[in-house]
A and B are shown apart, each in its own frame.
Chain A
Amino acid sequence: MAERSGAGTAEGLDGVISDLRALSEDIESCAVLSGDGDLLSSSHALGVERERVGAILAALVNLSERLARDSGKGQFSQLRIEAGGGHLLVVRLDGGGVLAATTGQEARVGLVLYDMRNSRGEVQKVLAEGDDR
């Protein structure tokens, strides 16, 4: 479920996320966070839980950026965390946004990340089209 940036962007993001989930069956949930920290697409409906997820994901992105800065590496491009009986996978988009997904413990994480990296271009294209409107 996407929000903001117009109906075209919302539908476009939902379409890309839906294609990604169809391609990568190990993905349990998926989200797109903008560079401003807004949750543009999430499996949660509008409400407190969605806002909470957006805030937590934004905190994780900030933490990753801080680590990259402190390490003198500029930016992070990908993040993979094993926790809570599953995996959290994050791929950075141009402009500071991220495409994030969760999987179960036994997921083929490398394959999921590969599919996420391939979908990154489509997500960026939809976001760029939304900005042009």
Chain B
Amino acid sequence: MKKLLRRLFVLGALAGAVYAARSYLQRHSPGKETVQIVFDDGSVRSLASNTTEGQEFTDIARKLVETGL
């Protein structure tokens, strides 16, 4: 019984550690690239949603996607 409880405790601790690591990585990973702009010279720039510039674009685009053009 004692052995079983110890195993359960270890499993619980492992699950907790995995959950904590996943949450940490999600919070600190770069935002999903939601904006892609192509310039006349053919170059492309992508803006992540967690940047100020990216946020400006997505805020405006959200309104247009929701209401339609």
Contacts of B37 in A (CB 8 A): 64, 67-68, 76, 78-80
Tell me if A75 counts as interface (CB < 8 A to partner B): yes
- Contacting residues, chain A, for B53 (C-beta < 8 A): 67
CA–CA, A75 to B57, complex, Å? 16
B64 to chain A, nearest CB (A): 5
With A57-B64, A77-B38, A81-B57 given, can you name 9 additional A-B contacts, CB distance below 8 Å?
A30-B69, A56-B63, A60-B57, A64-B37, A73-B39, A74-B39, A74-B40, A79-B35, A81-B34
Residues in A lying within 8 Å of B, measured CB to CB: 28-31, 42-44, 49, 52-53, 56-57, 59-60, 63-64, 67-68, 71, 73-88, 100-102
